[in-house]
Amino acid sequence: MSRLLLILWLALPVALGAQDSLFAFVDNPFSRRFAPVPVGGYKLEVAQRIFDDLVKARGSFRMPVPELVMNTGRRYMAWMHPGKRQIGLEEQAYDICVSLGKDSLNALAAMLSHEIIHYYENHDWKRNFINQNDGLEAAEQLEKLSDGLKYETQADYFGGVLAISAGYNTYSTLAPLLEKAYATYGLPDEIQGYPSLSERLKLSENTARRLEKLFQVYQTANYLSLIKGHTEALDYYQYILGEYQGFELYNNAGATALLAALDLTPKNEMPYVLPIELDLESRLGQITTRLPKDAAARRAQLLEKGQQLFKNALLLNEAEPSAHLNLANLHVLRGEWLDAEYRARKALALAAKVSNAPAAAKAQVTLGVAAILQRDTFAALAYFQSAQPAVMNLAKINLSILQGGAELIAPQNYNVRGVEEIDGVFPEDFLVAPSFTATVNLPGKIYCGYKHMPTSNIFQHYVDNGSNRFAWFHRTDPDYKGETLYGLSAGATAAKIRTVYGVPNRILSLPNGQCLAYDQRQLLLLTDETGQLRSWIVFRSGLTE
């Protein structure tokens, strides 16, 4: 090629021959004289971790997982090679992402997810058809069509959705990444035949707005599930997955249905705590919220819906323990012991394969609950004791119930003095005069509001149909330096949390820790796998089941 081809976000695929073609961010003819050298070590390890998160969230195992490579080249920036089933990243592109500071991982996710979408959406199909059917009229007509812009726009948007469902917020990194890339690679603002830099930045701004709104809907759905707003959460998941289907979204929606069914299960039938796993960091078909009024019928319908959703998740990624674990918990609620044991042992084996001790321990908790409900006390005791080192709270609670001790999770009657606030925002003050960065209108007169603050974010759900049902959440960011009302800050130990706030009303299982729910305090404490506080959410709720 005699000219510089820019392919940053609105690029066209670079063809390097009939059988050797790839999608690239840039094809710089002046760099061809330098033979790239493979790069390993720390940089590749960081990129690989992000890449693995994205592939897991995409969950499309109908195709082999592509290989990630890195080299010292200065020709492509990043690329997808369908023939080699390879996604590549140049070291200089990695360095550009790192230069963005706290958004460095988000920038890497934006770049890699873009190429992953190219791969899994099979954007190379038309080029292969033309090459393999040269001379056919259909191939000649197809070659006249230019899908490059469409593919790149799709990869940009769905790549952003993929990154969000994997826990990366890419919407604020697109424009800075474009500008930095142009400058570092020495690309001109105007290239004949391609949109100008200003046009590309405008597209990135439009995409960022769409992604930010999708992010706020996704997070609000997750938070609604944490406070038992399961029906509302399902509405939100349906909205998201009307545009994008991924493993994490199916699994979260299934977990929400399962939690709703658990709420309809009499306490004497299920006194134990099941490790139902909801991921805070991702087409449902038609999820109906018009459930039967009879509790037993509602419960059966929710369990059926949950089973469908978990199976959809497993079709996308059968190697992920969480969907197997959630499906095992569902079978426990149904009393389907053989199925429960099979799924729990499958989750246990998959977790052990990748040395995921917390996931393996949660599977043992499920096996323990199944055992005690079948009156096998000896086996249950062994499972709970084995799980205790990795998931202390879950195992300890179930051990206490099994041994006839006082239940460690129970409604508490105490006076709550003072009001929890984050970044100087008091919930009632905000609710009186709400102010949002962005809002999203969902079907059914549902409104989702979002306010971005320097070290925290506010999410609000509101239904404008006369019922005035609402939920309000204010969550701290990882770099928040403040404290809770009673002096806890990020990094507080499990023992400190228990001393200051006492026993939670509920404990919810998360892939990377737990959510301790203090309903009367209207506070959710999010802990890591060691039990240390990493973030917290102040909430207000006007929901009724």
- Compare 544 and 113 and report the one with higher pLDDT: 113
The pLDDT of residue 419: 87
- Compare 216 and 165 and report the one with higher pLDDT: 216
Top-tier CATH class for 228-402: mainly alpha
Q: What is the per-residue pLDDT across 49-69, written as a single tens digit (0 to 9) for each? A: 999 999 888 766 667 889 999
Identify the H or E element spanning 449. strand 446-453
Q: Are 163 and 106 in contact (CB under 8 A)?
A: yes
| Ranges for all domains in the chain classified under CATH 1.25.40.10 | 228-402
The pLDDT of residue 139: 39
Give the CA radius of gyration of the chain: 25
Predicted confidence (pLDDT) at residue 99 exceeds the cutoff of 80: yes
CA dihedral sign of residues 315, 317, 319, 321? negative
Alpha-carbon distance of 105 to 172, in angstroms, equals 12
Q: What is the per-residue pLDDT across 478-501, written as a single tens digit (0 to 9) for each? A: 889 999 999 999 999 999 999 999
Q: Are 338 and 346 in contact (CB under 8 A)?
A: no
Averaging pLDDT over each range in 129-143, 233-247, 332-346, 461-475, which range is the top one?
332-346
Q: How many CB atoms lie within 10 A of CB 317?
A: 21
Confidence of residue 246 (pLDDT cuts 50, 70, 90): confident
424-456: b or e for each residue (b if 16 or more CB lie within 10 Å)?
A: eeebeebeeeeebeeebebeeebebbbbebeeb
Predicted confidence (pLDDT) at residue 172 exceeds the cutoff of 50: yes
Alpha-carbon distance of 172 to 152, in angstroms, equals 18
Read off the pLDDT of each residue in 129-145 and give the average, rounded to a whole number: 42
Q: Which residues have a Cβ under 8 Å from the Cβ of 16 and sit 6 or more positions away?
A: 22
Identify the H or E element spanning 238. helix 230-241
- Compare 215 and 134 and report the one with higher pLDDT: 215
Mean pLDDT taken over the chain: 80
- Compare 333 and 123 and report the one with higher pLDDT: 333
Share of the chain above pLDDT 70, in %: 79
Alpha-carbon distance of 82 to 130, in angstroms, equals 15
Q: What is the per-residue pLDDT across 364-402, written as a single tens digit (0 to 9) for each? A: 999 999 998 998 988 989 998 888 877 767 777 788 787
**CA-wise closest residue to 308 among 332, 283, 289:** 283
Q: Global pTM?
A: 0.67
Predicted confidence (pLDDT) at residue 13 exceeds the cutoff of 50: no
The pLDDT of residue 410: 44
Predicted confidence (pLDDT) at residue 271 exceeds the cutoff of 60: yes
Predicted confidence (pLDDT) at residue 35 exceeds the cutoff of 90: no
Strand order in the sheet with 23-24: 23-24, 78-81, 86-90, 67-71
Q: Could you tell me the end-to-end alpha-carbon distance of the chain, in angstroms, rounded to an integer?
A: 64
The pLDDT of residue 98: 95
